[in-house]
Amino acid sequence: MRLSFDGEIWYWRGPAPFHFVIVPDEEGEELHTVSVIVSYGWGVIPVTAEIGETNWATSLIPKDGTYLLPVKAAVRDVEGLDVGDRVRVNLTVDLGT
């Protein structure tokens, strides 16, 4: 399964601070329908994410009916990204088929 969407990078200042992009509702609904077969643990979904020329393996985190895509520092550094930047995200979910 491949999904593409645009989103804004934002910073969460919790006990484990990190940068995220929120998966839009429509794509979140699509992910929710396959989460039963691909999720592990507490509902996270393993994906391959791509922003610009950079791709990496990560897991989407369920939050408020949709998902958060963590964007690690190495990706932000290579792509020259910061909080508030809008990015095009491509996700691949391995459905094991």
> Which tokens sit at 89?
């995200």
Q: Is the pLDDT reported for residue 53 higher than 70? A: yes
pTM listed for this prediction: 0.92
Number of domains in the chain: 1
> pLDDT tier at 97 (50, 70, 90 boundaries)?
low
80 band by pLDDT with thresholds 50, 70 and 90: very high
Residue 97, in any domain of the structure = no
- Its domain, for residue 79, covers 2-92
DSSP class of 24? P
pLDDT in tens, 11-49: 998 777 799 999 999 999 999 999 989 988 788 999 999
Residues 6+ positions from 90 with CB-CB distance below 8 Å: 2, 3, 4, 49, 50, 51
pLDDT band at 59 (very low <50, low <70, confident <90, very high): very high
CATH of the domain at 84: 2.40.30.100
